[in-house]
Amino acid sequence: MSNLLPKTMKESQVTMIELVLPNDTNILKNLLGGRLMHWMDMAAAMAASRHCNHVAVTAVVDDLSFHEPIKLGNIVSLKANVNRAFNTSMEIGVKVEVENFKTGEKKHSNSAYFTFVCVDSETYHKVSVPPITPETEEEKKWYNDALLRREQRLNKMHGIIQK
């Protein structure tokens, strides 16, 4: 790890709020999947850049699933959190919650894990990132689970199949 001072998860958290407008939807008046992926990537990028104080670029997106449609007029909250920092990369979890503003009903709609790499904006070389210090039991779970997911990603990239 680097000699950088550790940061807490709270220091880099991002909440982004979007309103689903007609230009964001398909012919069924559901949010376009690509638009949601863009919003999720933006929230994750902001959390990653906040954590490393540099430009952070998307390297991997894991397990993005669409559980139910997001409708025209819904309010979409995207919450991004740096779960763990490695040498030059970070895992960011993004949770999407959808609110029907007429009824106030809120539902968890989507989640995904993003891996971002910190880079120097002038040289484009990778930059070391500060370690994360989880504080709550929930944060400790996210932190530990992130290491397991990283090992699975690396094994998959190197062609090692887990049984």
CATH code of the domain in which 11 resides: 3.10.129.10
Does 92 fall in a domain? yes
pLDDT of amino acid 136:
96
What does the pLDDT look like over 142-159, one tens digit per residue?
999 999 999 988 888 777
- Please tell me the predicted confidence (pLDDT) of residue 163: 47
> Does 76 reside within a domain?
yes
Q: What are phi and psi of 103, to 5 degrees?
A: -105, -20
Rounded-to-integer distance, Cα 156 and Cα 26, Å: 34
Q: Report how far residue 6's alpha carbon sits from residue 103's, in angstroms, rounded to the nearest whole number.
A: 42
Please indicate, yes or no, if residue 2 is contained in any of the structural domains: no
Evaluate the CA torsion angle 40, 45, 48, 51 in order and state its sign.
negative
Give 16's contacts (C-beta < 8 A, 6+ positions apart).
39, 42, 43, 46, 77, 78, 80
26: containing domain: 7-157
Residue 36 lies in a domain: yes
State whether the Cα torsion 107-111-117-121 is positive or negative: negative
Q: What are the pLDDT digits (tens) for 58-111?
A: 999 987 888 889 999 999 999 999 999 999 999 999 999 999 989 999 999 999
DSSP 4-28: SPPEEGGGG-EEEEEE--GGGB-TT
Query: How many domains in the chain?
Result: 1
